[in-house]
Amino acid sequence: MEFSFEVVHRCQRSGARAGILHTPHGEIHTPIYMPVGTQATVKAMSPHEVLDMGAEIILSNTYHLNLRPGSELIREAGGLHEFMRWPKPILTDSGGFQVFSLSDARRIEEEGVHFRSHIDGSPQFFSPERSIDIQNNLGSDIIMAFDECIPPEAGEEYARRSTERTHRWATRCQEHHKNPRQALFGICQGGIHENLRIWSAREIDSMGFIGNAIGGLSVGEPKPVMYRMLEATIPLLNSNKPRYLMGVGSPDCLMEGVLRGVDMFDCVMQTRMGRTAAALTDEGRINLRNEKYKRDFTVIDENCDCYACKNGFTKAYIRHLFVAKEILGARLVTAHNLRYSIRLMQRAREAILMDRFPEFAGAYLDGLVK
């Protein structure tokens, strides 16, 4: 088999588990944070830097890469791995989230979605089959079914119709996908309606995807609502398959997700924050532009082994780089945030294997609250 997933240890006092996902481009040790390379690059980082951080898989974006440079060009280049010179696994999303978040003028039909490019306004069309074709061209290891991301303010009737359509689209994605070297994941939806989440989890799980994803969360709803939706959904998803919580990556949500049994996470927050001088630490987020760091000659986090911290780049120096508008500042904080998040999941995995994850998560979350 090209793909397999094994759970190597289950936490006895929570839903947390440690696993290994085997893919054609290598093993993925879960739970894991996956850096996002929207445009076939993790912003401000070279591939070897991302490898040195310990990343085992990265994400790229179907919607954006189809607009530019085009999936056919990437196929001609030998696929996304060759095009961007990344040797390890790649996951591509279906483009569904971007279709619904970046285009105001869109029209949803049973066949698919008509929308306009956010770049030049040109008319575009995505269907389940089109999304699969694009991802086949990209050649990513894990591909996602095309779905509709339901806004949190959507009423139950709209959410029900949308979720029904997502289920039908998932079936069409399965029927159209033919490449055994790409693992197709289904996506559960349902908005913030617990009954719909339960229904969607059962439907998607019954379809027999290689992995199951939970979409449509962390899109504006309060975090306690997201956690409640996870608690309703996760027990209904096959425990022998990987579970992927889409678009979620803040440290507290990583801990809460792992506690409930999530294996895979991704988020653009780490690189976006890095470009604005915001750094992740065990004590919470800090803004290195603040005046109080002008004469702070300590590193971002003394316990961090990222390039910036282990080589002694101080808060004062990084602050100076941002004030002077030097690009190195964004690179250093981005490198720190990515390595911090990857290492946090490595620490979580170690705690799971030692069967002490509830204690680890509790202490970590208490530290973030202070």
Q: Catalytic amino acids?
A: 93, 266
**3-state DSSP assignment of residue 244:** strand
155: Cβ contacts below 8 Å, ≥ 6 apart: none
CA distances from residue 293 to 114, 127, 272, 286, 354 in whole angstroms, order as listed: 49, 50, 21, 10, 38
Cα atoms in the Cβ-side hemisphere of radius 13 Å centred on 207: 26
Q: Which helix (H) or strand (E) holds 123?
A: strand 123-126
- C-alpha 184/C-alpha 179 separation (Å) is 9
Task: Say which amino acid occupies 204.
Answer: I
Residue 222, φ and ψ in degrees, nearest 5: -60, 150
**Among residues 272, 262, 264, 271, which one has the least CA distance to residue 339?**
271
Cβ atoms 56, 22 nearer than 8 A: no
Number of neighbouring beta carbons within 10 Å of residue 158: 13
